[in-house]
Chain A
Amino acid sequence: MAEKSESEVVRTSQPQVRERTDDELVAAARTGDEAAFTQLFKRHNSLVSRLGYRFFSRREQVEEIIQEAFVKAYLALDNYQGGHEKSFVSWLARITVHACYDELRRIKKRSESRLGDLSQEEEEFLTERLRDVSAGSNVEGAAISRDLAGKLLSRLKPEDRVVLTLLKQEELSIAEIAELTGWTSAKVKMRSHRAQQGLRRVLRKFV
């Protein structure tokens, strides 16, 4: 107890260096302060990376999303309206989700997803999982499942994929998804319903 109070005394006696808030950093970056933008990047690159991994499984794809999101954010700094503590995070998340959506659309346009790419092993795995979805998955099972999940989800429409990912992985509400995507709540609701049905259809084809 005594040790704790001692360390507290040491801490309070040190000169306090207050970290600049996101809004302050944005204001500095707007005036051309490179260090401020670097600090914003260092503070939030994990958030963007995490969101990128929700949609893409390959590291290079995620790195591309990080690049795209920060470039767009930098160029749109003038449009940023702060106000509260989480403003910048929400704003950056919105930009990232849009970057992911654009990339999903590009991929979809480039090549219609490879439904036939599923190996015999993967089909068997799917059937097995459906028989007992509640069975605990081992490491090997999880590895196969990740690859398989990527293949199956690539069959969905990009907007369905966005809605389902944000609903199921990020566990966001309809209103939050609407806020992130810029779509109306009604559209998100309808999309989520269709996306769910679409995924069932995709799964039915294989099981």
Chain B
Amino acid sequence: MWNKRNTHIDDEKLDRLSDELFRALEASESEIDNAAESPFLFRRIRARIESEQRRLAEETNPWLALMTQFRQAIPVFALLAVVALASSLYLHTNETNKPTPDNPTLVAGLPLFLQDDPDALDASLVGWQSNNRSSQPKE
């Protein structure tokens, strides 16, 4: 039923309708001018031209391409340098904290130089251990 009806629509009518659709698509002069004189349009064109020229220059000159890649790798190199510096500083700090006759080491979290009497430290550790045991719940 539908197909039958559709085929009866003659081509001439359809062509006239399509002509009307094309006419409807026409933009007004103000629309044309507004798009053409859009602010910053020319600046955008200039920017695109410059980036295209750069790209084309890189394509033809392998050294330029290499330099660009190197430039892009700068942040990665900087990060690596920071990591290397931080780790060398960390290692250096650890080196200086090693027990040496001149540099007292840490015992139970407290540097020895904070303890005047080593016996008092032992006593406090024993006391701390017994306190811990008594505070544990009995089964």
Contact = CB atoms under 8 A, between A and B. Distances in A.
Nearest to A204: B6
Interface of A: 38, 41, 45-46, 48-50, 52-54, 57, 59, 62-63, 66-67, 70-71, 74-75, 126, 129-130, 133-134, 137, 142, 145-146, 148-150, 152-153, 164-165, 168-169, 196, 199-200, 203-204, 207
B102 interface: no
Given A149-B24, A204-B9, A52 B16 contact: no
Interface of B: 6, 9, 11, 13-22, 24-27, 31-38, 41-42, 44-45, 48-49, 52-53, 56
A130 B17 contact: yes
A149 B35 CA distance: 20
B14 A203 contact: yes
A71 B42 CA distance: 10
A204 B25 CA distance: 20
Contact of B17 (A52, A71, A133): A133
Nearest to B21: A149
Shortest beta-carbon contacts, A-B, top 7: A145-B24, A53-B27, A149-B21, A49-B36, A45-B36, A133-B16, A168-B22
Contact of A38 (B37, B42, B52, B56): B42
B20 A133 contact: yes
B49 A169 contact: no
Nearest to B37: A45
Contact of A149 (B14, B15, B22): B22
A70 B43 CA distance: 12
B36 A59 contact: no
A155 to B, nearest CB: 12
A146 B36 contact: no
B35 A71 contact: no
Given A63-B38, A133-B16, 16 more contacts: A41-B45, A45-B36, A45-B37, A53-B26, A57-B27, A66-B35, A66-B38, A66-B41, A67-B44, A149-B22, A164-B18, A199-B14, A200-B18, A203-B17, A203-B18, A207-B17
